[in-house]
Chain A
């Protein structure tokens, strides 16, 4: 079992829809949980990070961590075509481990 599992997609949703992106993990020692956005041929950009369990909101983005289920989510409200990118979950105990990324397409 891989340490971090993430569905690669692609995920296509209409503009304005709520997007739900998810990752599962196996290492219960992970403490920090991050979401990155990566546009084609660019480096990843940190969107949000959460320490331990709970929710965190930033504008249209909400991150959730459920440590009991080893499951994290990123919700995007009022999705825009500019949100089309690959979304990477990442988590760390000492080193940072990334998921494979989910390709998201927002259809105008």
Chain B
């Protein structure tokens, strides 16, 4: 039982390049989330998927797109990376119905030069 896994762990991009961050969970959770964490800003929600087949914008969605590929997988795409997207990205999942805690992946540290 791996929980929430994320790839890659580290990535360096040049401005304008694109990439996809991958996330998978093996807990049969319905809801999945993408956050970014920056010093002094805390965790900020980029996009979430309440259930398979649905996605919604969070607090800071500009410059990102997501795909809920199936119940297990939720990917985050940067189409044209900018230095302001330098951050640590976390994927999380939770059961989805009612009150419930989130389980986080180990994170992806992204630097855009």
Q: Do A and B come from one complex?
A: no
Q: Which residues of B contact A (CB under 8 A)?
A: none
